[in-house]
Structure 1
Amino acid sequence: MFGTTARNLLKKFHSAKELAEIPIEELKNLLASSSKNYFRNIDQKSILVNQTAKYLFSIPNILAEQINFLIKEENFTDDVTPLTRTGNAYLRYYFIQDTQSMINYNSEYCEYYKHKFKETPRHSHKRALTLTARKLVRLVSTLLSKKQLYPSPEERKERKLKQKEMTDS
């Protein structure tokens, strides 16, 4: 529904009536260029789009303007966003490797990885590993900025208990 071709059609035509009025050949050319010749049977697809546009119920002009404004703003975000590959590629590679070790030997990171693995519908391992690596980057950055060593899980539990006791009293 919100693929590139559909968005291009919705941006170009303000109503289904406008879309239904253009000739099939022009619609065929528009679909071919917009989809980069993705459709196998472009003739059939253009007829289907034309017929669908003809038999759609009409939207009042006031609503159509607002809908077109929202579509042109492109507020839609896909659930599968590409990962940004900025920064040092070698450093990124080694953080991913370190994250794999953290998952194997640190229960906190293992639980976080499992949680993210269950949470992501596609590319679960890569996505969960990348999100866990991001957590590791934040930890390393914090430790470096505060000039601290990584505390053991026991030390962190003790610290949390002390903080809780201080807030309770």
Structure 2
Amino acid sequence: MTSSLFVGIDVGSQENVVCCLTQDDEKRPVSRFTVTNNRPGILEFQDRISKLAKQKQAEEILFGLEHTGCYSTHAAMYLQRHLDFGVQRRVYVFNPSLIREFKKSHYLSAPKNDRVDAWFIAAKLRTGLLPHPFTWSEPLMALQRLTRARYHLMQDLSRESNFLMTNLYLKFSDYSSTGPFKRNKLSATSIAVMEEFESVEELCEMPLERLIEFLVAHGKNRFENPEVVAKVLQKAARSSYRLPQSMSDSVNLAMASSIRVIRTVQEQLKALRKGIEDHLATIPQTLDSIPGIGPILASGIVAELDVSQFKSHAEAAKHAGLAWTVHQSGKFTANRTRLIHSGNRYLKYYMVEAANSVRVHDPVFAEYYAKKRAEPKEFAEGRTLALTARKLMRVVFYLLKTNRLYTPEGGVRQRA
């Protein structure tokens, strides 16, 4: 039997607390120490662990640490690739909730501090019930930085857009419901209307010919019938509530601030798109052969899904949070279940976005989406999209595993 050393590391922004256990059933650590969370600290860590492994005649070392965002990234990369301990090593990066539940299963009222957490991480390593070892790829991690930055900008854009819509309703209450831009309220022409007209009265009083000229100029002559658009816009303005002047000025100022933020975010999204496309071009993948999946959605999935870590598409779907809870006891099985709360939120976001796009462009997914949408279930729209994303995961997993191209008929063809 291989003699192993189990090293639990509680990662902090400034210090890493270390606890080392052996295969013996004793709870007492063979070593405890603290090092700084920087390059000198990790080199000191290497020296002390190497000496301890030699002293205990360990044939392998298992390192474990919680995923704590950016603070654990350097430590995991150095442990997995850059450091030499003289023996074989494996690195595991745990979801913090996994360690928290492991702690509860042993001690209901265990204290919460760095020393205790480091011990439980080492103890978890000793159980042998472990996830796939940590691996990393420089191109994928570089791509991941960009796709996650885009995710956060998209959240900012959505939040700022929603705030803009609340102020727009105060200024122009029927704009979103009966106005001509209800399908794309953030188009260039729509934003121009919000900025140009300080009140609905001003819009109502503008001569129709001038309003048509305004729409043609800002719409770059893309409207098939600008006169109809102008009439619908003025009709919505006439039926909207009126604001007192003092409140109208405040609402206009708030809207102008939101519009500036939205334009800035949109510019940054364009810059990120170029960087994402350039990085994706260097990574072998076939996801963009699926109708509806372009370089952005393909990048978001590829950067978050390492298929080598999963045995099946079901495991990959669970990693993405596209799996449902099971509530069963005896002969009772709950009919109403929800998506699991765990999972990679970035991967889930890009999978759902991809599913929503693919179901428009691919007849197989369009038929599946329509079938599920017609089922009389609660939360029908969200449920249908999640099920479509789950179905798409099967295809994504297979294509990434085999490096084959997708065909709309449902089969695959060998890549040329």
Alignment match, 1:46? 230
Tell me the alpha carbon deviations over residues 45-80 of structure 1, each in whole angstroms, 9 at most, x when there is no partner.
Answer: 1111122222322112222112211221214468xx
* Greater fraction strand: 2
Displacement of 1:107 in angstroms is: 2.6
**CA deviation after TM superposition for structure 1 residue 123, in Å:** 4.4
In 1, distance between residues paired with 2:204 and 2:235?
Answer: 7
1:40: Cα distance to partner?
Answer: 1.4
For the pair 1:25 / 2:209, whether they are aligned, the reply is: yes
Partner residue of 2:282? 94
Tell which has more relative contact order, 1 or 2 (C-alpha 8 A, sep 6+). 1
SS at match of 2:198: coil
- The one of 310, 316, 319 aligned to 1:107: 310
Q: Using the alignment, how far apart are the partners of 1:116 and 1:45 within structure 2?
A: 35
Confirm whether residue 64 of structure 1 aligns to residue 281 of structure 2. Answer: no
C-alpha separation in 2, matches of 1:61 and 1:96: 59
* Aligned 8 A contact 1:11 1:72 in 2: yes
Task: Compute the TM-score of the two structures, normalised by the length of structure 1.
Answer: 0.56
Larger radius of gyration: 2
Give me the identity figure in percent: 16
Structure 1 stretches of 5 or more lacking a match?
125-169
> What letter matches 1:44 in structure 2?
V
Does residue 11 of the first structure (1) align with residue 195 of the second (2)? yes
Matched, 1:36 2:216: no
| Residues 20, 54 of structure 1: 8 Å contact kept | yes
Residue ranges of structure 2 left out of the alignment (5+ in a row):
1-184, 286-298, 321-343, 359-416
Q: Summarize the Cα distance change of 1:11–1:117 in structure 2 as closer, same or farther, 3 Å threshold.
A: closer
Corresponding residue SS for 1:84: helix
Partner in structure 2 of residue 131 of structure 1: none
Query: Does structure 2 conserve the Cα–Cα contact (< 8 Å) formed by 1:32 and 1:38?
Result: yes
Q: 1:55 aligns with which of 239, 251, 258?
A: 239
Match of 1:155 in 2: none
CA deviation after TM superposition for structure 1 residue 103, in Å: 3.2
> 1:118-169 CA distances to partner (integer Å, 9 max, x unpaired)?
4436447xxxxxxxxxxxxxxxxxxxxxxxxxxxxxxxxxxxxxxxxxxxxx
What is the count of residue pairs matched by the alignment? 123
Question: How far apart, in 2, do the equivalents of 1:52 and 1:46 lie?
Answer: 10
